Amino acid sequence: QQQVKQSPQSLIVQKGGISIINCAYENTAFDYFPWYQQFPGKGPALLIAIRPDVSEKKEGRFTISFNKSAKQFSLHIMDSQPGDSATYFCAASRGSGTYKYIFGTGTRLKVLA
């Protein structure tokens, strides 16, 4: 019940295309869903996050879509660029106590020039 399942494991997209990464969770107590971007040899950096009271959040080319009834959320990268090539992790946490994250297994994105 604590897992966050992420797919696909890897993704290749042409420059200008849309990259879509999906995550599913089981624990309905989760109330915070961030996405992190990680470049090789670096620590993950927060990209965008959403709470379950909204169905979509957009920041620039990055959009999170959230489906509370299906317990799924996804990251959409519009107009994907070679500089977006990185590993993306979704996560889920409860907004109290330890604020521990449960991370997905990651998606390695490659955007072809």
Partner 1 sequence: SQTIHQWPATLVQPVGSPLSLECTVEGTSNPNLYWYRQAAGRGLQLLFYSVGIGQISSEVPQNLSASRPQDRQFILSSKKLLLSDSGFYLCAWSAGEVKNIQYFGAGTRLSVL
**Site residues (CB under 8 A) for partner 1?**
32, 34, 36, 41-46, 49, 89, 93, 95, 98-101, 103-106, 108
> Least distance to partner 1 from the beta carbon of 16, Å?
27
CB 65 within 8 A of CB 76: yes
Can you tell me which residue has the tokens 């996405």? 35
Tokens of 98: 């330890």
Cβ closer to partner 1: 7 or 17?
Answer: 7
Cβ closer to partner 1: 36 or 74?
Answer: 36
Spatial strand order of the sheet with 72-77 comes to 4-7, 19-25, 72-77, 62-67, 56-59
> Least distance to partner 1 from the beta carbon of 79, Å?
26
CB 108 within 8 A of CB 7: no
Cβ closer to partner 1: 6 or 63?
Answer: 6
